Amino acid sequence: MQLAVDLSRLNVERGSGGPFGAAIFDGASGALLGIGMNSVVRLNNSTLHAEMMAFMRAQASVGSFSLATSAGAGRELFTSCEPCAMCLGGVLWSGVTRVVFAARRDDAQRLAFDEGPVFPESFAYLRRRGIRIEGGPLRDEARQVMEAYRARGGVIYNA
């Protein structure tokens, strides 16, 4: 989780994107498979959220369009903020079996980011599909990164 928050901070400090970072690990070995930082503004592409970037890199590193494994531990996404509507779709189709987030969706919405149509049923559906969802670790640290982004005049690109 610390890596995801550190990536979000680095993105803000460099001025290279929004205050969001993500990392995907192999649950069995702990190996890092891919990282992502929000690149929406820098690359002029509204889909390049940190989670989506991490999915792309992790799938490239394992040489497959899916991160699903036959091993019990599976692949795990750690993200600095609760996923938005688009990224929840990515979670479902990526093959990860666990999602851990730091800041909550309402923290991002306080900055005026529009997280889209995310409902309790969204998470219930993922759980029924065998994906564990956990929130809370490092929330305060992730919120501080968001506040730093706001203080620097960071672009709220989907408000």
Name the active-site residue from 13, 51, 121, 141. 51
Instruction: For residue 92, count CB atoms less than 10 angstroms from its CB and return exposed for 0-12, middle for 13-18, buried for 19 or more.
Output: middle
Which single residue is written with the structure tokens 């460099």? 14
51 given a catalytic annotation? yes
Q: Which residues are catalytic?
A: 51
